[in-house]
Structure 1
Amino acid sequence: MAGGDRPATAFTLRIGTSGEPPGNRRFIRFANRGSDRDFTVNRTYEREASGSAPCQNPRFGVIPRAMPDPLPKSALPASVDMNTRVLLLGSLPGERSLQAGEYYAHPTNAFWWLMGEVLAEPGLRARPYPERLDLLKAHGIGLWDVIATARRQGSLDTAIRDATERDLAGFAGRLPHLRMIGFNGGTAARRGRRQLAHLDAGWALVDLPSSSAAYAALSRAAKLDVWRGIAGYLG
């Protein structure tokens, strides 16, 4: 073709996050005529056209298809014993915790600092993980999560999809001295209360501000003011 022109090729791109419902995605049609003009697409996208080959752009190369669904993630086993009086429930452990096999393993998560302050054990975070769990048990505190398995890209609760929840009532009913169930963060509270709020089992249900650094509406000190209420159920 004269002047090095390339044939015009029309594409339709579907733009949105990989977990976004199709009805929420926007579509953009453009004609690729070999222009040198830069363009940027900052979200996940894939070709919406016949055929399976990915779209091509002369400057940027192959435009990738939408990312596949992440594999299901499974929560950690419970850390409780028959003397547990307070059960603290998270939503689903983050990536760092799942990789380490430890509750609240990310260094920016305030959980172990909060527990150290509540229990007057300021060096708790520096102890080996098994010792931390043993110390919580010695004070009557158990750990578990509301969600058993889910798909999630990254660690944010907002990315949780296809969640299978645990049987909270059945599990809590096997803890004879349980007095309080605390929900660490809004997702745990919403899902946990949906299972437990209608029961008359004598357990106090307490919403706690998330210990995650991603929840920045409250400072650590302000979170601690709420978390200190746990101590009243340990005696």
Structure 2
Amino acid sequence: MINSFPPFVNSQTEILILGTMPGIASLKKQEYYAHQRNHFWKIMYTLLHNLPISEKFEEKIQLLQANKIGLWDVLENCERKGSLDIHIKNQKENDFETLFREFPGITKIIFNGKESHKYFLKKFGQIEGITYYVMPSTSPANTMSFENKLKIWSTCFE
């Protein structure tokens, strides 16, 4: 059984970015999107006009929070061989009812990949007052170019 990380959300959070479950590299480092070929941080730093990318995870989280962006995963825990979402089984979702009660300023959810959206929608459906965006996965398993991912992700921040 593998477990997700706690949410990086505060009272200023308006946008919540949700993955499915951290991959092997992230679990090992205990940092979101730690795989060196994952495009997540490069996309965020580019969109938030803050290159170069910090090496420090705390600074990455601070950048998101300064821009009213939170980070979490749809799943609290699951069984999974490897890092691919298609291998997930026996999953348990995170407690979003409590999260949205505690942080009512969240009005936008950006799903990092179709699988996170699928798991969220199945359990929670469409939540009134929150807009959903399903973005291409930033994972290296998604072979779409960085430029194309960036262009699509930028639509959430216009």
- Give, in angstroms, the shift of residue 192 of structure 1: 1.2
1:41-100 Cα offsets, whole Å, 9 max, x none, are xxxxxxxxxxxxxxxxxxxxxxxxxxxxxxx00001111100001000000000110111
Q: Helix, strand or coil: the match of 1:80? A: coil
Partners of 1:81 and 1:220 in 2: CA distance:
29
Q: Tell me whether 1:137 sits opposite 2:80 in the alignment.
A: no
Contact 1:183 1:207 in 2 (8 A): yes
Return closer, same or farther for 1:169/1:229 CA change in 2, 3 Å cut-off.
farther
State how 1:7-18 maps to structure 2 within 5 Å.
Answer: none
The structure richer in helix per residue is 2
- Give, in angstroms, the shift of residue 172 of structure 1: 2.4
1:108-136 Cα offsets, whole Å, 9 max, x none, are 00000000111011212x33110110111
Q: Which amino acid aligns with 1:104?
A: Y
Give 2:157's aligned residue: 231
Give 2:137's aligned residue: 210
Give the percent of matched residue pairs that are identical in Structure 1 and Structure 2: 33
Contact 1:168 1:195 in 2 (8 A): no
Between the two structures, name the one with larger relative contact order (CA 8 Å, sep ≥ 6): 2
Partners of 1:169 and 1:223 in 2: CA distance:
30
Partners of 2:61 and 2:137 in 1: CA distance:
19
Q: How many pairs does the alignment contain?
A: 158
Output the TM-score relative to the length of structure 1: 0.64
Q: Helix, strand or coil: the match of 1:173? A: helix
Give 1:222's aligned residue: 148
Q: Helix, strand or coil: the match of 1:87? A: strand
Return closer, same or farther for 1:198/1:131 CA change in 2, 3 Å cut-off.
closer
Give 2:56's aligned residue: 128
- Give, in angstroms, the shift of residue 151 of structure 1: 0.8
Partners of 2:125 and 2:38 in 1: CA distance:
27
Partners of 1:150 and 1:79 in 2: CA distance:
20
Output the TM-score relative to the length of structure 2: 0.94
Determine which of 6, 18, 23 is the counterpart of 1:89.
Answer: 18
Partners of 2:150 and 2:123 in 1: CA distance:
26
Structure of higher CA gyration radius? 1
Q: Which amino acid aligns with 2:111?
A: F
Point out where structure 2 has 5 or more consecutive residues left out of the alignment. Answer: none
Partners of 1:79 and 1:184 in 2: CA distance:
15
Q: Which amino acid aligns with 1:91?
A: T
Partners of 2:96 and 2:152 in 1: CA distance:
23
- Give, in angstroms, the shift of residue 196 of structure 1: 3.6
Q: Tell me whether 1:165 sits opposite 2:93 in the alignment.
A: yes
- Give, in angstroms, the shift of residue 221 of structure 1: 0.8
